[in-house]
A and B are shown apart, each in its own frame.
Chain A
Amino acid sequence: MGTTASQLGKDLLSEYQELTFLTKQEILLAHKRFTELLSKEERSHPNPSVPIDTLLTLPELKSNPFRNRICRVFSSSESKDSLTFEDFLDLLSAFSDSATLEIKSHYAFSIFDFDEDGTLDEVDLEKLVNCLTGETDETRLTPQEMRQLIKNILEESDIDKDGTVNLSEFQHVISRSPDFVSSFKIVL
């Protein structure tokens, strides 16, 4: 099921409204911004998709250290290099104001799982902390600090002591932090 890039049908619009957490105006705005990213020929395709590199030019994603991971997680294509409009709506819905804690924590887990093996192990955690602290030498943690930090994180969150954080352990940690919902938001 696709959509010609010129305009959304009414039925499709209401279907999107029911199945995502977005309002009608947000869906229309998303459609407009998505269409702008397409080239002229692609707009007439039935189910156009935007390559990830083009999507990353959006100002909302441009400077985000997790931008590549976000796009990969929501991509439904085989090679994970492009997003359709519905993938884009999924992305915005997960990051919207009204999305539930469960959905957000589910997708946050997927985004932080850099090696895509279903759990957060030490390598994932290290990459996560490096994304958070940035590129410069001053802000990066020293190797000892990193080891200490990862050890503390695993102590606090790894309940079954298997050396990794799985989805339910992650969601348990997140549920104790009320600000997660307000900070895990992207608005177009």
Chain B
Amino acid sequence: MPSRNIDSGRQQQQLVSHLRRLPVRERVCLLRAMPLNLALKIELSSLYVHIVGTWRLLLGALAFLSSVRLWRTQLKLLAGRFGTPVLSYFLFLRMLVLLNLLLFLVNGLFLVLPRALDPLAAGDNSSLLHTHSVLHLLTGGGYVAHSVMFYGYYGNTLSGWSCGPAEHEPEANVSAPLNIAGQPVCGPQVVAPVSYNTSLSYLFTVTSGLFITSIILVYSISQYFGRRFCVFPSHGKLAGNVFCSWDFKVTKEMSVQRQSENISTQLKEQLSEGMCCERGPGFVRERRRLLRARLSAWAACLASVFLSGLAVYHLADHMHDQGVMASVEADLLGESRLLALPTVVSTITLFLPGLFHLVSRVERYDSPLVATYVSIVRNLLLKVGLLGVLCYHWLWRIPSEPERYGLQCWETFVGQELYRLVLVDFFCTLVNAFVGESLWRLFSNRVLKRRRRPTFDVSRHALELVYGQTLTWLGVFFAPLLPVVQLIKLLLLFYVKKTGLTLTCEAPRRPWRASQMTAVFTALLLCPSLLGAAACLTYTVWTVKPSSACGPFRRSPTPLEGQKLLLWQTVDTGADPKLGLFLSAS
């Protein structure tokens, strides 16, 4: 057996001299990576100069940063009972929680805090004017619409006026605020506050939040590639399966037994596949039949995607019609009709993938990996199609004629739509997790007569997470606090999924390549999801005309144009560029 001790003193000398020649960091890494006894390593390390204290401090700091301790015990119990595939889903969820927390901190610090602290809140700040109701929390209307949650609350340059010793020209359009008697509040006791350019900071904050997120995602994907992974399935590699299939994380007795059963089934299947390869006439007929089945399955899925896209398009058209919008403002009942579109979209995105799963049973792909990729592609097509239709409405039709829809502030409306979508998606997931899955379990036990519980479909649930995160990223420009809503939703979702899993499901039976799949889902988070949201943001900022009645860009032809004009003005008036872009008087 390969020894954990070094046999001779000479070998030890050779090792020590080799270590001495290396730079400090490499020395540590090399010694750590040797499969030797720890006692021996300690002895070896005492033979050369000890590592400098600062290096130890750095190691400690790095270790602290990388050890995220949220839900550590629960994750360990989940892994012990269900194994690595289910754990990878919850780790993915945890990563999304951290990303949303980051966005919340960035937006909160640079957008919400200055706005909330501003004593001269421009615009209507009297929340007493608007209706208060619990329904508004769900629909984003009433007092919520005029709160810090949505775009419309953020005015243009704060406090551009000054009555004290003026260093900069006060903006012509913004006059000093009036007190109750209608007289301007001025006087030596009022000092010109530092002005904070909301429009520039808004644009910059939202963009940099998304940029930092993309860097983090690219970094985590690169880590997977750093571990020498091969994308393509290695067919029939029995040796690899035998050596690598045992999941050491599984600790519960029952789960260990189940794992043994699964491995045994898998090995027997692979052996029988390898043994029978007769290619008689029946084989060709069988392949033709399979080809027909697969083509019809694809046709069915594409047709359903197209039909649902069409349905959502017409429903959105109907909902956004002026008649409906007008009636909505009237009463609470009308406002709850706004929930119709999000409910339909969420129902389609939750239940149509189940249909795809049923359809995929007739296809019988050779390798489970190919089947997984096929189902991912179909799910993606559905979600991209639906979101594409909705974005077309929100970013093209509505901004081009906001009067047709009776909207004063179309950005707030789009923010509200996304807010509603995120919330309704959560409620539908709740209903599905408890009611839907239990019903399915009853159905499969009684009607289909299966003994085992339904398995937890990791790819489907992971794609739902990607979809929810896409909605958040799309909406962060129109509703800066949407990451908070998503954060709370994900925190609750953890416990909901954990309970649902424990009550109704069991671990996947087929082999699941956890690290490869996690890399695929992180890549999906980057490529259609974040990049799509960034593309929509770029389009909005570059070409769409902001509404003139609200928001930080109300005076610009497009948000980006406004910032360019602002920067030129700053340069022209000779303000000190070293103050930084966030401190400028317009």
Q: List the interface of chain A (C-beta within 8 A of B).
A: 1, 14-21, 23-25, 59-60, 62-66, 73, 76, 84, 86-87, 89-90, 93-95, 100-103, 106-110, 112-113, 116-118, 125, 128-129, 132-134, 136, 138-141, 145, 148-149, 152-153, 156-157, 167, 170, 173-187
CB nearest to A99 among chain B residues: B33
What B residues does A95 contact at CB under 8 A?
A: 248
The residue in A16, A90, A107, A112 that gathers the most chain B C-beta atoms within 10 A of its C-beta is A90
B70-96 contacts to A (CB < 8 Å): 76, 79, 84, 88
Q: Across the interface, do A152 and B274 meet the contact criterion of CB distance under 8 Å?
A: yes
CB nearest to A104 among chain B residues: B35
Q: Across the interface, do A187 and B239 meet the contact criterion of CB distance under 8 Å?
A: no
Cβ-based interface call for B41 (8 A): yes
Given that A139-B264, A141-B267, A178-B229 are contacting pairs, would A153 and B239 also be in contact in the complex, using a CB cutoff of 8 Å? yes
Q: Which of B250-258, B399-407, B533-541 contacts A (4 or more CB under 8 A)?
A: B250-258
Q: How far is the CB of A186 from chain B (nearest CB, A)?
A: 5
CB nearest to A102 among chain B residues: B33
**Closest 7 pairs (CB-CB, A-B):** A134-B260, A178-B229, A139-B264, A133-B264, A86-B38, A116-B1, A180-B244
Q: Across the interface, do B251 and A177 meet the contact criterion of CB distance under 8 Å?
A: no
Q: How far is the CB of A124 from chain B (nearest CB, A)?
A: 11
What B residues does A177 contact at CB under 8 A?
A: 234, 237, 240, 243-244
Q: Across the interface, do B1 and A118 meet the contact criterion of CB distance under 8 Å?
A: yes
Q: How far is the CB of A102 from chain B (nearest CB, A)?
A: 6
The residue in B32, B256, B514 that gathers the most chain A C-beta atoms within 10 A of its C-beta is B32
B364-401 vs A: 1/0 string, CB under 8 Å?
00000000000000000000000000000000000000
What A residues does B37 contact at CB under 8 A?
A: 76, 86-87, 90
Chain B contact-residue range equals: 35 or more
Q: Across the interface, do A174 and B244 meet the contact criterion of CB distance under 8 Å?
A: yes
Partner of B263, one of A76, A113, A132: A132
Given that A177-B240, A178-B515 are contacting pairs, would A60 and B251 also be in contact in the complex, using a CB cutoff of 8 Å? yes
Q: Across the interface, do A129 and B41 meet the contact criterion of CB distance under 8 Å?
A: no
- Besides A177-B237, A178-B516, A183-B249, 10 new A-B residue pairs in contact (Cβ under 8 A), listed by A number: A19-B28, A21-B32, A23-B67, A102-B33, A133-B267, A141-B264, A156-B237, A173-B243, A174-B240, A182-B84
Q: Across the interface, do B249 and A187 meet the contact criterion of CB distance under 8 Å?
A: yes
Q: How far is the CB of B66 from chain A (nearest CB, A)?
A: 8
Cβ-based interface call for B56 (8 A): yes
Cβ-based interface call for B446 (8 A): no
Q: Across the interface, do A18 and B38 meet the contact criterion of CB distance under 8 Å?
A: no
B215-247 contacts to A (CB < 8 Å): 224, 227-230, 234, 237-240, 242-247
Cβ-based interface call for B579 (8 A): no
